[in-house]
Amino acid sequence: MDSEKILAIIQSLLDKQLTQDITLLQICKILHSNVAHYDWVGFYILDESKKNLILGSYVGKPTEHVNISVGKGVCGQVAESGSTMIVQDVSKMDNYIACSLDVQSEIVVPVIKNGRFVAEIDIDSHAFAPFTERDEDLLKTIAAKISTLF
């Protein structure tokens, strides 16, 4: 499905003003079921200590990584820098936390509220190097739309 259609579905979901948990889970489902190379879609949320990310809503294989320290793995690095990371080949990444041997690539996009990192969208793919500017643009637009939920 093209990005405009996905964004339209997500906008109508946001218009319903459901709870944060339900909204984030629905977004995971929309992305997972409409983009072929999105095999695991989830949100990590910064906890109050600001040193830890906590797994929120997700769709895909359960992961043991429900807590990730800021700075650790791709997720922790994005929490530290506040910048998007695209890893087209996770086997080449040193600071990486493997969730499943099936995962070949990953994109993590920060959610910034009032200039501060509050959460991130994390997507794992079983495909090698599938991410393009289209993914980055789509996920950054979603991240901007949902910042008010935090």
Binding footprint of ligand SME on the chain (CB under 6 A): 40, 42, 63, 65, 68, 73-76, 96-97, 99, 106, 122, 124
Which of residues 39 and 146 has its CB atom nearest to ligand SME in the complex?
Answer: 39
Which of residues 26 and 72 has its CB atom nearest to ligand SME in the complex?
Answer: 72
Residue type, 7: L
Which of residues 79 and 138 has its CB atom nearest to ligand SME in the complex?
Answer: 79
In angstroms, what is the minimal distance from the CB of 135 to ligand SME? 15
The answer for residues whose C-beta is within 8 angstroms of residue 71's C-beta and 6 or more apart is 77, 79, 80
* CA gap 50, 69 in Å, rounded: 9
In angstroms, what is the minimal distance from the CB of 77 to ligand SME? 7
Q: Are 117 and 111 a contacting pair, CB within 8 Å? A: yes
Which of residues 42 and 146 has its CB atom nearest to ligand SME in the complex?
Answer: 42
The answer for residues whose C-beta is within 8 angstroms of residue 149's C-beta and 6 or more apart is 20, 23, 24
